[in-house]
């Protein structure tokens, strides 16, 4: 019996910030020594002075680190401000190249031990300076606003997978895990917000933002200004048909069969099933007296060219439609293994079905 298992898609949430008072208060996170702050964010258009986060809510420019976007400010389209001065991560010209509208990952590293400050956008180093002045504490950490309570400075976009570490992470470590959700127990992980609580686009009134890094203590976030927490604005949202937002490129946000290793298992399984079917048919012919050899010869492998051709196209179309539905409905992003994996698996599956069909003739 051939069992065909449909791909299983898991869909995780992220947060929609409307740009008018929506923000998450994490509170006092204590002393700041060596640290790394990471977040995935999505913007569609840029407005001046929108704050993605600040380590001191409404704290001005002193004793803090703040991340802002801008349409025309001299700091650039994306910049960091605070004890480090104003550090450009992406100049305005980058909005047509490496900082175009969409999902982006930023990692900001304070290596106080070595007096160094770094920023990595989508894994690429954009800031590397020597630094002597540091924030002494993350006094009142906030996501979605920062400098003042002016709604014009609130972030308008999507945020996911916010991480705060009490270590200065290397570029290699950042790149290795930026596209994968964490378990929450990683060494040095102080606070972790994956935004997966709640129901996408539904009534989530009364929920808070859960800290999924128990080793650093519990720093759950308080949701402020989100209104009723219902619907696909100012709420926990997702990719796919419910809210229609683009999915962040994070494993777990929109993962689908198969990875490269899974493609290998699929191909191996199809090969074994095909060879097993051929061996069974050879054994049956021997018992029936229509063959003198019980061994399998590749020259004698059954192959009906016409039947195989009739089966190959429908199989390819079915696999193609699975990917179309995965991308269109679940926000799945194609990986480098999908094309070669499917090009190998499709004819093998067609050959196996051809064997079954040929036997029934």
Region of poorest pLDDT, from 47-51, 148-152, 171-175, 318-322 = 148-152
Q: Which long-range contacts (C-beta less than 8 Å, at least 24 apart) are formed by 188-192?
A: 189/163, 189/164, 189/165, 189/213, 189/215, 189/216, 190/29, 190/35, 190/164, 190/165, 190/166, 190/216, 190/217, 190/219, 191/26, 191/29, 191/162, 191/163, 191/164, 191/216, 191/219, 192/162, 192/163, 192/164
d(CA 345, CA 333) in angstroms, rounded, equals 19
pLDDT band at residue 7 under the 50/70/90 scheme: very low
Q: What pairs with residue 237 in β-bridges?
A: 14
Instruction: Name the 3-class secondary structure at 115.
Output: coil
Using omega within 30 degrees of 0 as the cis cutoff, is the peptide bond preceding 177 cis? no
d(CA 199, CA 238) in angstroms, rounded, equals 9
Q: Check residue 270 and give its pLDDT.
A: 78
Whether 61 has a pLDDT exceeding 70, the answer reads yes
Residue carrying the six token digits 């972790």: 192
- Computed over every residue of the chain, the mean pLDDT equals 85
pLDDT band at residue 103 under the 50/70/90 scheme: very high
Residue 270 has a CB neighbour count (10 Å cut-off) of: 20
Instruction: Name the 3-class secondary structure at 18.
Output: strand
Whether 168 has a pLDDT exceeding 90, the answer reads yes
Nearest to 194 by CA among 141, 142, 238, 137: 238
Q: Check residue 138 and give its pLDDT.
A: 93
Q: Check residue 3 and give its pLDDT.
A: 32
Which tokens go with 292?
A: 């003198």
d(CA 117, CA 211) in angstroms, rounded, equals 26
d(CA 55, CA 162) in angstroms, rounded, equals 13
Residue carrying the six token digits 């304070």: 110
Q: Check residue 226 and give its pLDDT.
A: 95
Alpha carbon dihedral 109, 184, 219, 236, in 10-degree steps, equals 100
Q: Check residue 338 and give its pLDDT.
A: 74
Mean pLDDT of 187-191: 94
Whether 332 has a pLDDT exceeding 90, the answer reads no
Alpha carbon dihedral 179, 183, 185, 190, in 10-degree steps, equals 50
Nearest to 41 by CA among 86, 108, 129, 93: 108
Q: Check residue 6 and give its pLDDT.
A: 37
Please name the residues in contact with 118: beta carbons below 8 A apart, sequence gap of 6 or more: 107, 108, 109, 111, 125, 127, 128, 171
Whether 356 has a pLDDT exceeding 90, the answer reads no
DSSP string, 130-149: E-----SEETBEEES--S-S
Whether 2 has a pLDDT exceeding 90, the answer reads no
Interval 248-307: pLDDT, tens = 998 754 334 455 556 667 777 878 887 787 777 777 766 666 655 555 555 566 778 888
Mean pLDDT of 190-195: 95
């Amino acid at each position: 019996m051939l069992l065909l298992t449909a791909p299983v898609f898991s869909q995780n949430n992220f947060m929609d910030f409307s740009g008018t008072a929506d923000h998450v208060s994490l509170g006092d996170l204590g002393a700041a020594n060596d640290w790394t702050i990471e977040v995935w964010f999505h913007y569609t258009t840029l407005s001046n002075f929108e704050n993605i986060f600040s380590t001191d809510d409404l704290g001005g420019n002193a004793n803090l680190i703040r991340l802002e976007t801008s349409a025309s400010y001299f700091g650039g389209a994306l910049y960091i401000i605070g004890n480090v001065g104003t550090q450009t991560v992406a100049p305005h010209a980058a909005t047509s190249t490496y900082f175009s509208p969409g999902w982006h990952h930023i990692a900001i590293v304070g290596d106080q031990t070595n007096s160094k400050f770094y920023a990595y956008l989508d894994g690429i180093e954009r800031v590397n300076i020597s630094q002597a002045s540091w924030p002494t504490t993350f006094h009142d950490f906030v996501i979605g606003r920062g400098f003042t309570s002016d709604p014009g400075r609130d972030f308008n976009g999507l945020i996911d997978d916010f991480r705060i570490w009490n270590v200065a992470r290397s570029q290699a470590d950042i790149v290795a895990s930026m596209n994968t959700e964490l378990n929450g127990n990683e060494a040095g992980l102080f606070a972790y917000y994956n935004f997966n609580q709640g129901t996408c686009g539904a009534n989530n009134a009364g929920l808070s933002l859960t800290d999924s890094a128990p080793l650093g203590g519990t720093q759950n976030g308080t949701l402020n200004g989100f209104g009723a927490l219902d619907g696909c604005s100012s709420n926990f949202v997702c990719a796919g048909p419910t809210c229609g937002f683009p999915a962040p490129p994070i494993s777990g946000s929109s993962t689908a069969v198969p990875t490269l290793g899974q493609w290998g298992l699929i191909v191996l399984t199809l090969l074994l099933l095909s060879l097993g079917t051929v061996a069974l048919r050879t054994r049956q012919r021997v018992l029936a007296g229509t063959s003198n050899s019980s061994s399998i010869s590749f020259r004698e492998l059954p192959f009906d060219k016409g039947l195989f051709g009739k089966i190959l196209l429908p199989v390819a179309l079915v696999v193609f439609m699975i990917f179309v539905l995965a991308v269109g409905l679940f926000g799945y992003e194609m990986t480098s293994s999908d094309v070669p994996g499917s090009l190998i698996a499709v004819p093998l599956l067609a050959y196996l079905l051809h064997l079954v069909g040929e036997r029934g003739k």
